Amino acid sequence: MTPDHAHGSDTDAQKEDQIHDGKKEGIHDHDTEHDDKGHDEEGHNQDEDEHDHDAHTGHGHAHPSHHGDNHKHYLEAARVAVSVRSFAEDFVKPGMKLLDIAERIEKEIVDQGAGMAFQATLSLNEAAAHDTPKMADERIFTEADVLKVDFGVHAEGCIVDQAFTLNPNNEHIKLIEAAESALADALSVVRVGANVRDVGQVIQDAIVKRGFKPVENLCGHSMSPYIVHAGVSVPNVPRGDYVFQEGDVFAIEPFATNGGGKVTDGNLDEIFSMVQPRPVRLPQSRKAAEWIMDNRQTLPFAKRHLLPVLGSAASVELAIRDLTRQGILHDYPVLVEINKGLVAQAETTVIVEKDSAKILV
């Protein structure tokens, strides 16, 4: 499928200028770490030892978004997100190819008149996040799998991010319940004046008391228009010092595991975003960069989205390698639990209000 336009179309002349000059308003560099890290159980400073991973891509350096005049756009994105989630919960069944699931979810978002904030992400078992189907992916969803279904919807850049976990044979239902309970408990404390550290404590407590571990280096995140991660993290453990303000927009997303409680980069690398436009010479790279500028801009995309643009898997791989090597694209590897433990996720988007959080999906 062809993803929607992120900011609307530019004229051909404008697009050519953007690719050659390497300039485009709204393109942000992406960080792979956040400022709100504390110390791990061994007392090591995590700025030195590891990076917290946001569960999505599209990081920026903006402050949390205050919804203000965008209220109607958030409500529209929420309407579509609720509908698409219901659609996905109904149609996703064992025996389906992951590629078919992803394409149907992405198509449904666009068919309902919204934008795709990021690619449908279908992370299996020990893969916690950033696992989206490859071109011609043959993987099948089975009865025994623990599948995280994560997608984002936007209306005029206002993003609603959600995720749920499926395990058809219910062998790991308690793991899923741990993540879902942690989300419910977290939402009960999000309000103006609450600290992200307190939310992390509630998440950790809910998961630990059910016999599992929170994934401590995956975080929820603030969001701003066209920016999936706007610079403030909500950890799954008591860490950080940001105080919620009225109108903040956040994705809250606990991750529970029966493994070691951390993730690391895996081998699969299918998600990218443009971080630094600049002139390119290779024809395939030029064509890919123009499509990204026109369709995605600050928003992430999957490698497979370039297949109809470039016509062959070989051309896609060539362009991706070239643009990544030049620092024009940033890649987001699959995040895998360090002990290959199973991971469950529950996520919703909220607007922070004086005495509570307005839950959008």
Per annotation, catalytic residue among 53, 229, 305, 330: 229
What token pair was written down for 88?
Answer: 């996905």
Per annotation, catalytic residue among 76, 322, 337, 347: 347
Which 3 state secondary structure label does DSSP give 325?
helix
CB 333 within 8 Å of CB 172: no
Using CA atoms, how far apart are residues 55 and 151, in angstroms rounded to an integer?
A: 11
Using CA atoms, how far apart are residues 277 and 217, in angstroms rounded to an integer?
A: 29
For helices 98-111 and 71-91, the axis angle rounded to 10 degrees is 140
Using CA atoms, how far apart are residues 220 and 183, in angstroms rounded to an integer?
A: 11
Catalytic residue list contains 108: no
Per annotation, catalytic residue among 76, 106, 131, 150: 150
Catalytic residue list contains 229: yes
Catalytic residue list contains 150: yes
Catalytic residue list contains 7: no
Per annotation, catalytic residue among 126, 180, 248, 253: 253
Using CA atoms, how far apart are residues 242 and 194, in angstroms rounded to an integer?
A: 8
Measured in whole angstroms, the distance separating CA 6 from the mean position of its chain's CA atoms is: 16
Which 3 state secondary structure label does DSSP give 68?
helix
Per annotation, catalytic residue among 161, 180, 248, 290: 161
Could you give the dihedral angle defined by the CA atoms of residues 353, 357, 358 and 361, in that order, rounded to the nearest 10 degrees? 150
CB 253 within 8 Å of CB 55: yes
Per annotation, catalytic residue among 53, 221, 305, 330: 221
Q: Which strands make up the sheet holding 263-265, listed edge to edge?
A: 127-129, 335-337, 263-265
Q: What is the sign, positive or negative, of the torsion defined by CA atoms of 79, 85, 86, 91?
A: positive
Burial 234-261 (b: 16+ CB within 10 A, else e): bbbbbbbebebeebbbbbbbbbbbbbeb
Measured in whole angstroms, the distance separating CA 294 from the mean position of its chain's CA atoms is: 21
Catalytic residue list contains 353: no
Catalytic residue list contains 131: no
Q: Which residue in the block uniquely carries the two structure tokens 């419910």?
A: 184
Q: Helix, strand, coil % (nearest 5) of the chain?
A: 30, 25, 45
Active-site residues, by number, are 150, 161, 221, 229, 253, 347
